[in-house]
Amino acid sequence: MSVLDVTAPSQLPPIWDELITGLTVGVLLTDERGQVLATNDVAADLMQLTKSDLLTGARPSGWAVRDDTGAAMPDWSELAGQVLRSGSPLSTPMVVERGGHPTRLWADYHAVKAQGKRRVLILLQAVQTDVAHSRGLLDPLTGLPGRALLLDRLEQSLVRARTRGMLTSLVLIDVHKLAAFNTEHGFDRGDELLKTLAGRLRQGLSDEHTVARYGGDEFAVVADHPRGTGEAIAQQARRMATWPMRIGHNRVRPGLRVSWVTTNGNASAHAVLSRAEQQLQQ
Domain 147-281 architecture: 2-Layer Sandwich (3.30)
Q: Mind listing the pLDDT tens digit for each residue in 2-44?
A: 344 444 444 435 556 666 666 788 999 888 888 888 888 899 9
What pLDDT, on the 0 to 100 scale, is given for residue 47?
94
Q: Mind listing the pLDDT tens digit for each residue in 63-93?
A: 988 876 666 677 777 778 778 877 777 777 7
pTM for the structure as a whole? 0.58
What pLDDT, on the 0 to 100 scale, is given for residue 115?
74
Q: Mind listing the pLDDT tens digit for each residue in 169-186?
A: 999 998 877 777 777 778
Residue ranges of the domains in the chain?
A: 4-131, 147-281
Q: Could you report how far apart the first and last alpha carbons of the chain are, in Å?
A: 35
Q: Mind listing the pLDDT tens digit for each residue in 226-264?
A: 888 889 999 998 888 888 778 777 777 777 889 999 999
Q: How many CB atoms lie within 10 A of CB 116?
A: 7
Percentage of residues in the chain with pLDDT exceeding 90?
14
| pLDDT score of 132 more than 70 | no
Q: How far is residue 5's CA from residue 119's CA, in Å, rounded to a whole number? A: 10
Which residues fall within 8 angstroms of residue 94, CB to CB, at 6 or more apart? 65, 66, 67, 68, 73, 104, 105, 106, 107
Strands 167-175 and 256-263: antiparallel
Options 3.90.1150.10, 3.30.450.20, 3.90.950.20, 3.40.50.2300; which CATH number does 4-131 get?
Answer: 3.30.450.20
